[in-house]
Amino acid sequence: MSRTILSTLSPAAFRALLGTATSASRVVPVDATWYMPNSGKNGLQEFLEQERIPNAGFFDLDAISLPGSKYPHMLPTYSIFNQAIQELGIRKNDTLVVYDKSGIFSSPRAAWTFALFGHPRVYLLDNYITYKQAEYQLDLKPVDTLSTPLPISEAEFKTKYDEQVIEYEELLDLVQTNKLAQDYYAFDARPHDRYTGKVPEPRPGLSSGHVPSSLSLPFSKVINADNKTYKSKEELLEIFKRDFDLDLSNSDFLKGKKGIIVMCGSGVTAVVLRFAIQSVIGLDVPIRVYDGSWTEWASRAPSELIVKTH
């Protein structure tokens, strides 16, 4: 199976990349703006009514998801994603540049989803706010829709899914058999006070706390104070060394473990961590996303497996 190019891209590099585009191999911006439910904002409405990068499509994290799920924006099925891509007009030969208007928040999740479903060239714009401040062109033109097939077969997607996603049942078994810490480093990207249980979750009625043996790594730690750009590779390596005594400068740090698991509230900012480790640090180790994340765990796990440490 061919490997997807999945990396960050500065606004200036994006503008240079546009110069390489042809009708057969387009460079397609994808707006993946999503906000927390209590923010009062709506990414799709902003896309339709406010500025956007010229010729961008919109990736709706809520709509392109598993229908009927009790948990927000769970990964869609192969057929649902295929239909969504056809409606977006994205083709296999396109190079995708994914962004969100917050800077670095929901776009890593969308970029990873494209890569998971086999799109060969996906970049994360680091970041839209800097792009806008540089006064690069913006517009409000409607997006054309072109029919295109998904770039991998359903069997290939299943293989990638098993490699990059962990579901509740497998994680529960790892916790109950005391093998989570033995087999994985599991990082939780939520704010630390939600991890400890000191403050409530933003979703009413959902307990805060954390998965046993998971480690607190708020996604805000891997991005700069302006919440717009990733910290440098050197800064990220220092964070892992200082906070977890882990040397991520090479893959030997796993010491027999199977890889890394990332989670958060609903599977969005977990992928901010995934990008930091894989694309900014450049570490080639297995990283699995717990798609249901804390919303699913707190709803399904036995109460004794919801840990509070405040």
Q: For the residues of 21-76, what is the DSSP string, one character each? A: --SSS-EEEEE-----GGG---HHHHHHHS-B-TT-EE--TTTSS-TT-SSTTPPP
pLDDT tens for 239-294 read 999 999 999 998 789 989 999 999 999 999 999 999 999 999 999 999 999 999 99
Q: Give the pLDDT band (50/70/90) at residue 123.
A: very high
Where exactly does CATH 3.40.250.10 map onto the chain?
5-160, 167-305
Q: What is the pLDDT of residue 2?
A: 54
Report, in angstroms and rounded to the nearest whole number, the Rg of the chain calculated over CA atoms: 19
Which residue from 67, 87, 258 is spatially nearest to 171, judged by alpha carbons?
Answer: 258
May I ask the CATH class of domain 5-160?
alpha beta
Look up 264 and say whether it is catalytic. Answer: yes
Q: Spot the catalytic one: 264, 273, 281, 298.
A: 264
Query: Rounded distance, CA 269 to CA 110, Å?
Result: 11
| Mean per-residue pLDDT of the chain | 91
pLDDT per position as a tens digit, 185-198? 999 999 999 999 99
The pair of three-digit structure tokens given for residue 21, joined into one six-digit string? 């585009």
Separation CA 187–CA 218 (nearest Å):
9
Architecture of domain 167-305: 3-Layer(aba) Sandwich (3.40)
Interhelix angle for 154-164 vs 78-88, to 10°? Answer: 110
What is residue 146's predicted lDDT score, i.e. its pLDDT?
A: 32
Give the confidence band of 24 by pLDDT, cuts at 50, 70, 90: confident
pLDDT tens by residue, 140-189: 665 443 334 566 788 989 999 999 999 999 999 999 999 999 999 999 99
